[in-house]
Amino acid sequence: PQKIILDVDTGIDDSLALLYLLASPEAEIIGIAATAGNVPTAQVAINTAALLELTGAGGIEVAAGADEPLAVPLRTTEDTHGPQGLGYAELPVPTHPLSDRSAASMWVELARAQPGEVIGLCTGPLTNLALALRIEPELPRLLRRLVIMGGAFNHPGNTTPTNEWNIHVDPEAAKEVFDAFSAAPPDRRPLVCALDITETIEMRPEHLIALAEAAHSLPIERVDAGDQPEWRSAASNPVIRYLTDAVRFYFDFHHLYDLGYLAHMHDPFAAAVALDPALATTRPATVDVELAGTITRATTVADWAGMWGREPNADIVIGTDPAVFFERLVTRVGALARR
Ligand code: BDR
Ligand code: CA
């Protein structure tokens, strides 16, 4: 199977990315790096370990990253992901011990041990990867491929008018990562899933119902048909119950911001693309991150036309069929829940 290092700030949609990978027979997660972002690093590590235990995957290494971004204080977003980061879900405190190596050391050691074989998937701020690149500048050549959820190009931001959250939290790290790939050959360019594409991946209550059905779990009930419908899981299946409680918070958050009663599946989409790039069409570009600026700091800029005279350092996802992604999510995670 394809070896994967997952770097997460779990996080509701990060948790679905994790479940998607665990549910995919062609993937083998060889290490998980916890990064500060949606919630602080320690909480990310707890959430991630709790999810591994929920699905019987407790043996996977979880390494904690830095507590703070490279150059700025940490900002978290409990508004978006709930007080502990997993929406309304409350999972048992995990017994899973944390790795005794740092997230950055884990990245470097795993990539060195199996050169050309490991895909790195980053669904949070890029702090750990930037620190790993400072230790091992050859990482772009040691990894088989890097897949990043982050940025907003020809699309508004979700944190400031031009900033996407993961880049906003640690823009210095993001710049170091994109700069490190400036000489990467075309087949090693990071695949970038930015808001331009991930905001087209709209999960709706119907998808949760389909997931429960795929897991042969009790259906999810709509208990309030008012303006803001409530979905409550009568599910006895622990994975379906988790998903319902987590994703319902994400629906409520998107609804609060007038985006509809739905949730953008940023991180699970990036996971699906990491395993099967054929899900997406891409376009090469040179990506850079604004670090100065009075109103545009942490904005990602894509030079699509070579105007800077620099080689492309990214393949940006520009198209996909969301229905194909959701079909896979439902089938795979439904089967995982049934196990
Ligand atoms: C990204 O921000 C986080 O809140 C999500 O988990 C996702 O990785 C989307 O901008
Ligand atoms: Ca995330």
Instruction: Work out the burial of residue 213: count CB atoms within 10 Å of its CB; fewer than 13 is exposed, 13-18 middle, 19 or more buried.
Output: middle
Q: Supply the pLDDT for residue 183.
A: 86
Please state, in angstroms and rounded to a whole number, the distance separating the CA atoms of residues 14 and 9: 7
Contact 153, 302 (CB under 8 A): yes
Ligand 1 touching residue 80 (CB < 6 A): yes
3-state secondary structure of 222: strand
Please state, in angstroms and rounded to a whole number, the distance separating the CA atoms of residues 70 and 125: 10
Q: How far is the CA of 308 from the centre of ligand 2 (A)?
A: 30
Please state, in angstroms and rounded to a whole number, the distance separating the CA atoms of residues 310 and 113: 31
With tokens 């906003």, the residue in question is: 168
Q: Supply the pLDDT for residue 230.
A: 62
Query: Could you count the other beta carbons within 10 Å of the beta carbon of residue 185?
Result: 9
Q: Supply the pLDDT for residue 220.
A: 63
Q: Supply the pLDDT for residue 96.
A: 84
Q: Ligand 1: which of 7, 14, 195 to mutate, judged by most atoms within 8 Å of the beta carbon?
A: 14
Ligand 1 touching residue 248 (CB < 6 A): no
Distance of CA 299 to CAs 90, 91, 160, 289, 291, Å? 34, 35, 9, 6, 8
Tokens representing 180 are: 């490190």
Question: 166-177, pLDDT tens digit by residue?
Answer: 999 999 999 999
3-state secondary structure of 300: strand
Q: Supply the pLDDT for residue 200.
A: 98
Query: Could you count the other beta carbons within 10 Å of the beta carbon of residue 94?
Result: 19
Please state, in angstroms and rounded to a whole number, the distance separating the CA atoms of residues 171 and 26: 33
Q: Beta strand 314-320 with 280-289: parallel, antiparallel or unpaired? A: antiparallel
State whether ipTM is beyond 0.90: yes
Q: How far is the CA of 267 from the centre of ligand 2 (A)?
A: 6
Ligand 1 touching residue 38 (CB < 6 A): yes
Please state, in angstroms and rounded to a whole number, the distance separating the CA atoms of residues 84 and 149: 21
Ligand 1 touching residue 149 (CB < 6 A): yes
Across the range 270-298, mean pLDDT stands at 98
pLDDT tier at 74 (50, 70, 90 boundaries)? very high
Question: 133-154, pLDDT tens digit by residue?
Answer: 999 999 999 999 999 999 999 9
